[in-house]
Structures are given as structure tokens and as C-alpha cells.
Amino acid sequence: MKGKKLLLTIGVLFIVAVFFGAFASNGTAADECESCHMGIIADGCTVIIVGKDASTDGSVMTTHTCDCGLCDWTWRRVPAADHAPGSKRKIYHIAQFETWPPSEGLKWEIYKKDFTGLEIPQVPHTYGYFNGSFGYMNDLQVAIGESTIGCHKKMENPTPAAKFDITMLTLIAMERAKTAREAIKIMGELGEKHGYGFTDTGEMLAVADPNEVWIFEILPVGPLWTPESGKPGALWCAQRVPDDHVSVCPNESRIGEIDLKNKDYFMASPNAISYAIEHGYYDRKSGKPFNWKKAYSPSEYSAASSNGSRARMWRFYDLVAPSKKFSPDTPNMEFPVTIKPEKKLSVYDVMTMLRDKYEGTKYYPARGLQGGPFSNPNHLPYGFKLDDKKYNTSRVTSVNRAEYTTVTQCRGWLPNPIGGLIWLAFGAQDTSCFMPFYVGITEIPKSFEIGDHWEFNKDSARWAFDYVDFHTQVLYSYAIEDVRNAQKKWEEQAVKRTPIVDKFAEDLYKKDPSQTLQFLTDYCINNANRVIDAWWELGNQLLVKYNHLWIYDTKTRKRIPLKYPEWWLRELVKYNQLEPQPEKEK
């Protein structure tokens, strides 16, 4: 009998191990990946967080760079809804990286085929919201930005017992939460009760409302968890960002020492500390205070030790607090969770940071040979292997694999339909354009709802921006100036126009809320369509102007040769062993 039980136990563990391997994640902060030998998440996202007293206009801001390169990029606007008593809400598994051919249908319908078997009681009313890969903002200005942070491999739970992944949690939060705190509690409790993980490991969400913003981190609890265990199926902790502070999450756990007695600044699951003790991640006899990130998602790298592949943390703090002179040698886990910026940040400042490629530093990826003759910072976005040795390259904030980038603004001095604002830019940040969308609009451009990496489609908004990006890469140092001029024209005027639109909408809202929603919808869709048309035209202009690696001046109708940098010509002579032409005899 004991032998049978032993065999049964071994069999269960074997199945779990197989399952674990079959559903392995895309990498965690603690694990090595093929393309980045320091253990860096290859397709991670960057989140910037700005408290209301740290922004120039009093808005609470969060961001998300959806860095993937193969994910679904489509967006939708889900309307508010009322539900009959006794209704149920089906829970689905929604894999971040999974896509389907357009001929099979849109992701946001196909994912419903992956029903988890779980139905939870529906609430009487669900709020409307925007979502792409995650939920981003709902009707009450509850906003979210996401960044994968990873965890210990043994903590991952890729089994079907984990009913919730991070995407599903954000959608439920959008549907039900009135505030950031409420969103955190909803997601945390659902993860505890029904299990968190499946396709996801450790995740960080910046959760905001017009009054405050929190860093929320949630982790799975291992593949052996079941609801019948009576234990929480997730670990989570949340720390509030002070109103006059900013923060960043570059795919690394941010929460350090926690004080759960300070309920105004900390929240956590009941197992937040006990799980670490039980599994040997924290020794309470050590005399050291419990540190969340060091227990569950440790990483000792710095900008310097990783040769720039882990430089986003250092770069952000150096940009917002330059007088502190943070060293690139500072271990990332030793940076403060939040910091007061030396100057308040505008939404345009945040957009600029999201386009940062470490210009002016030794980690600038376009420096020297790597950037080529035309200083392209998008070469070698990942590390590489040569002669059985691995090399890291800089991982910048503005990578060339973003599906889209968001900046959310929660503005409490305006009615919710006007106060909530999402700035959305499709594709790579350096060649895209941020477009404003008020949360009160009733529809989005149809071109946002379609598109795929593997099929060119002029009806898809995203392809307009990829069209420009493609024509920028070949002669980057030349073409990027044309792109920046277009960005300045369309983004600056949109930012400057926002207070005017706000005022008109606010006055109209007092008289007729429904007319206000229609006005905002028309404004956002018209602006977006004009930007998309402008980007298609910009792509055409780049094709003509830099055709055949010449410069075609459309005004003078002359063709001008490119000027190659002297350093590159010298390297060419040296590498190709070129000989100079003999001088003619006089």
C-alpha cells in the first residue's frame, strides 16, 4: 500500500513537472534566456508612474510600453452594461503572446474558446473601459500599466488550477473597480481564491485613479496549489506612491520593505510574509527586515554589470533626479522605490522619456559600429553569442518591438468622461505618434480593432506607423529628423489643444452629457484618422526622399549623394584593406 502511494506521488509530481515544462513562461527576472545571458526578460515592458503632485497639471499618470514584437496589437472599447440578478461572469485564460490569423477572427472573440470552467457571480453594473493586451482605463478613471517582473521558478503555476492570468484580472478590475484601492483588492482576492498564473509569472501593475497611484505586484504560489488546499492561490503586495513622487518598473520587482500596519501606504495578501518563511526565501531569525523583492524576485544586476541591458532603472532615476548623480554601478534593487523629481513632469515629458534610447551615455546603442554609418539605435536589440561567448547590448526604454505605448492621465478636477485620458501610440515609440482618447468616448476607429504582424493591411492603423518605421530604419539619422518634425507637429498641437477641448467639453457637459460624449468621440476619431493619414503620407515621402540610398530633393528635383561619416569610411578602408587610388603624375 505504501509502495502504491509512493508510486502515485511520483506520478503526480512527474505530471506536474511535464505540465510545468509544457507551459513554461517566456522567462523571469531570475532565469536565463537565450537572447539575454544576464537573465533578462526578453520581451518586457516599461511602466512610468507619476503622482498628482509630481505632474505639472495635477494629473496622475501611468504608462505601458507593450514590448513584444509578435503579440496582438488590436484595441477595443467595451461599453458599460447592466446585468440581471443571478448572472455569472465567465473567466477565460487569455495568453499575452497568443495570436491567430485574421481569417480566423479577432483575438477578443477567439479567446472565449479557452474557458477555464470558472464562473463567478456577476455584479449588477459593469463599467465601460478600453483594453489592448490589458485593461487600461474605465469610466471612473481607474487606470493600469503593466510590467512583467518574474519570480522564483518554483513559484510558477502553469497548471489549469490557476484560473486567473494577469490580462483577465485587469479586465475584471476595469469592469468593477471605482478606485485604485478597490481594483487592487478585487484582483488580489480573485487571485487568492481561484489561483493566479497559468501563462503568467510575477507581474507588476501601476494602478491609478484621480487621487493616487499604487504599485501592485502579484505572484503565483507554485504548481501544487489547488483550491481545496485552503491556502491562497496567489501572493500579492501593493505600495502607494507618494503624491509628489514618481517611480518606474523596468521588469523588476520594486516593492522592498513593507509596513502592513501603515494601511494608507501598504496592502498585501495574508501569506505575503509567511509564504517566504515557509519556502526558505526569508529567515526571520536573521534579524533583517522582510524585503518583498529580495524574497520573491531577487536580481543583483546594475546598469554597469549588465553592460546596459539592465540600465532602464538607472536611466530613469538619473533623468528625474540628476543632481543625485546615481551611479550606473548601483545595484537595481538598491534604488529607492519612489523619488521626488527635481522638476514636475508634463505629459509631454513622459512621452519623451518613453522614447529614450540613452542618448549621451555610454549605453547609447547607436554609438560606434553598432549603429552603423547612419546611427541606427535599433540594431542588435537583444544580446548575441559569438565564439561560444555571450554578449549583452543595451536594452533601452524605446525598443523597436513595441506593439503600442500608452500614457494614461487621471484628472480629478474634471467629470470622469472628460478627466480620463489615454494617449496611444502604435508601434515603435521613436517613429510613432501619440493620439488622445477621452475615456468618455463611445467608439474608437475601426482601424484600431484589426491587424496582424504577418499580413499587411492598409485598413489597419498600426500598419501606417510600421510603414513609416520601415522606411526610417535604412537611413535612420536622416529619416528620423523627418519623423520628429511630424511628431512635433501632431503631438504638440494635440497636447496644447487639450485644455481647450477640456473646457469646451466641461461647459457642454453641464448642459448635455450625451452631446459631450458625441463631441469627444468625434474629436478623438477625427484626430486619429488625420494622424493615420499623415503617417501613410509620411511613409510615402520617406520612400521617395531616400530611394536607392540617395536623397531626392522634391523641391529642386535634384538627387544628392549621401554623406557617410569619416569614422565609418576609415573602418571600411581598414576592414576591406582598401588601397587609395594612385595620384596622377603632374
Dump pLDDT digits (tens) for 315-337. 999 999 999 999 999 999 999 99
Question: Region 277-306: what's the mean pLDDT?
Answer: 95
CB 356 within 8 A of CB 397: yes
Contact 341, 54 (CB under 8 A): yes
Contact 368, 377 (CB under 8 A): no
Average pLDDT, integer, range 386-399: 94
Q: How far apart are CA 393 and CA 500, in angstroms?
A: 44
Q: Is the pLDDT assigned to residue 230 strictly greater than 60?
A: yes
Task: Tell me the three cell numbers of residue 224.
Answer: 501544487
What value does the mean pLDDT take over residues 140-156? 97
How far apart CA 491 and CA 512 sit, in angstroms, is 29
Q: Are 268 and 238 in contact (CB under 8 A)?
A: yes
- The reported pLDDT for the residue numbered 545 is 97
Q: What is the pLDDT of residue 23?
A: 35
pLDDT exceeds cutoff 60 at 455: yes
d(CA 367, CA 377): 8
Q: Report which secondary-structure segment, H or E, holds 538.
A: helix 513-545
Q: What is the DSSP string of 464-520?
A: HHHHHHHHHHTTHHHHHHHHHHHHHHHHHHHHHHHHHHHHHHHHHHHH-HHHHHHHH
Asked whether the beta carbons of 219 and 155 are under 8 A apart, the reply is yes
The pLDDT assigned to 300 comes to 87
Whether residue 456 is predicted with pLDDT greater than 80 in this model: the reply is: yes
| pLDDT tens, position by position, 7-53 | 333 333 333 343 334 333 333 333 333 333 334 445 689 999 999 99
Q: What is the pLDDT of residue 584?
A: 82
Give the distance from CA 3 to its chain's centroid: 50
Q: Is 204 exposed, middle or buried (0-12, 13-18, 19+ CB in 10 A)?
A: buried
pTM (two decimals): 0.92
**CB contact set of 325 (below 8 Å; sequence gap of 6+):** 318
∠ CA 25-27-28 to the nearest 5 degrees? 110
Q: Which pairing describes strands 389-391 and 384-386: parallel, antiparallel, or unpaired?
A: antiparallel
DSSP 25-76: -S--TTS-BTTBTTT--TT---EEEE-GGGBSSS-EEEEEEEE-SSS----E
Task: For residue 159, give the C-alpha cell.
Answer: 497548471
Listed residue (280, 149, 274) closest to 219, CA to CA: 149
If you average pLDDT over residues 416-422, what whole number do you get? 98
Q: How far is CA 298 from CA 145, 280, 293, 301, in A?
A: 22, 13, 6, 9
